[in-house]
Amino acid sequence: MGRPPKFSRQRLQDAALAIVDEKGSGALSMRVLAAALGTGPMTLYNHVAGREDLDVLVVDAVLSRARWSRQPDADWRAEVREIALAGWRAVREHPRAIPLILTRRTRSTAALEMAEALLAALARSGCRGRRLLVAFRAVMACIMGFAQGDLAGPLAAAASENAAEVLARVLSLPPDRFAHLIEIAAAARDSSAEEEFLGGLDLLLAGLEAQPAAS
């Protein structure tokens, strides 16, 4: 009795994230992670509930690396921007984990902490209840949606190794049916993902400003 666990949660997180970073989210498995830790598959069941838990482990590892500071004196928009940008950057640091994050964010306690911080900042604008809920969900959608687009969007800029390939595919589309798509593919090539994300976020913030008591 009372034997100390063989692996810390941190150790599991690091090993699982390393596998995803190196081989992609599809390469993570009980057996592969166990092998990376130098043990048998069944040993992992002493630390996680099952396969699904492995994904959550990775999501939590990625999101818990997001850092932001409280800025009670600054404008609430600046605070929202900082938290959202920290979240987006943390996700972007681990592009191969994005499919997992999109899909399991909910189970991660680190995601809950980010949500609470975002809500606190948004609440400083004065909105409450349903309006606060909508504002929060819109900002969260912005973070996750832009991260998803960066993953492999039809306009994916740099970063991803197959971005050039995706761009080529868009450019080879029938120009009569996809005129606008082709047109902005060029704009995407000269644009940075972070600028685009901040641009989208600022649209949202401008909308919050413009609709202060609506809905």
Q: Which residue number, 8 or 211, has a Cβ lying nearer to a second copy? A: 211
Residue 145 identity: G
Residue 28 identity: L
Q: Is 187 in the site for a second copy (CB under 8 A)?
A: yes
Residue 112 identity: L
| Nearest alpha carbon to residue 123 among 113, 111, 110, 135 | 135
Residues 6+ positions from 164 with CB-CB distance below 8 Å: none
In this chain, which of 38, 72, 73, 130 binds a second copy, going by CB under 8 A? 130
Question: Residue 54: phi, psi to the nearest 5?
Answer: -60, -45
**14, 61 Cβ separation under 8 angstroms:** yes
The footprint of DNA (CB under 7 A) covers 1-7, 28-32, 39-43, 45-47, 50-52, 54
Q: Which residue number, 37 or 138, has a Cβ lying nearer to DNA? A: 37
Q: How far is the CB of 12 from DNA (least distance, A)?
A: 11
Q: Which residue number, 54 or 208, has a Cβ lying nearer to DNA? A: 54
Q: Which residue number, 3 or 177, has a Cβ lying nearer to a second copy? A: 177
In this chain, which of 32, 34, 85, 132 binds a second copy, going by CB under 8 A? 132
CA 18 to chain centre: 17
Q: For a second copy, which stretch binds (CB under 8 A), given 31-39, 63-71, 78-86, 175-183?
A: 175-183
